[in-house]
Amino acid sequence: MADRIRVLIVDDHKVVRKGLRAFLLSYNDLEMVGEAGSGEEAVRVCQQLKPEVVLMDLVMPGMDGAAATAAIRAQCPHVRVIALTSFPEENLVQEALKAGAISYLLKNVEADELANAIRAAYAGRSTLAPEAAQALIHATTRPPEIGHDLTPREREVLALMIEGLNNGDIAGRLTLSDSTVKFHVSNILSKLGAETRTEAVAIALQHRVLR
């Protein structure tokens, strides 16, 4: 069939690749054109075989799935990558989508759902497992970290406060006027919700504001 969707399978477990290969044989419009057992191999094979959709495992030794996805998307931008993993963790979801994956599915997905996701990806549409969607919602609704709104200059001043320097010393170190340093210190206390310099330093250390 001329209009089959060309699919590349990437997973470091041979039994998973075998299962996905058998799954693809069940659909007349899907064709497995190759497989890879690592991220590095996936990038090489993708350039050679020019698949249209890649089923990408995320947790692999060496180059992981997110890194492989980014490399594939950079070299073959027409290729659509579906992250197919056992893990719904928030950081994995964000890394995969940031790397360029169009969809994120878990390996317990039903066969017809996966087939439909491949078709949707080929057409440029995204499919997210409910757990992945929930992880994204949690990430966007999570309160911002303490100190996220400090400016680069305020971070410099805070670092010197942590060293124990007073306003005059900070002014000399950063070549600023005393009034400017006082202004920055006041902003730092306000943004950290601190009443005193000592409290600001304690909050900054506790929450690793300058990590």
- Whether 55 and 137 map to the same domain: the answer is yes
Residue 41 lies in domain: 5-141
pLDDT tens profile 24-72: 999 999 999 999 999 999 999 999 999 999 999 999 999 999 999 999 9
- Tell me if the pTM is above 0.75: no
- Whether 18 and 111 map to the same domain: the answer is yes
- Whether 91 and 70 map to the same domain: the answer is yes
- Whether 136 and 169 map to the same domain: the answer is no
- Whether 185 and 84 map to the same domain: the answer is no
Give the span between the Cα atoms of 54 and 75, in whole angstroms: 14
- Looking at the predicted structure, is the pLDDT value of residue 1 above 50? no
The answer to whether residue 22 sits within a structural domain is yes
Answer with the one of 85, 106, 141 that is the final residue of a domain.
141
CA 88, 43, 72 angle in degrees (round to 5)?
A: 65
Quote the number of domains for the chain.
Answer: 2
In angstroms and rounded to an integer, the radius of gyration of the C-alpha atoms of the chain is 25
SS3 144: coil
Domain CATH number, residue 37:
3.40.50.2300
Domain CATH number, residue 163:
1.10.10.10
The answer to whether residue 147 sits within a structural domain is no
String of DSSP letters for 56-115: E-S--SSS-HHHHHHHHHHH-TT-EEEEEES---HHHHHHHHHHT-SEEEETT--HHHHH
- Whether 100 and 168 map to the same domain: the answer is no
Give the span between the Cα atoms of 69 and 100, in whole angstroms: 6
pLDDT tens profile 103-154: 999 999 999 999 999 999 999 999 999 999 988 888 777 677 899 899 999 9
Both tokens assigned to 197: 């310099």
- Whether 90 and 184 map to the same domain: the answer is no
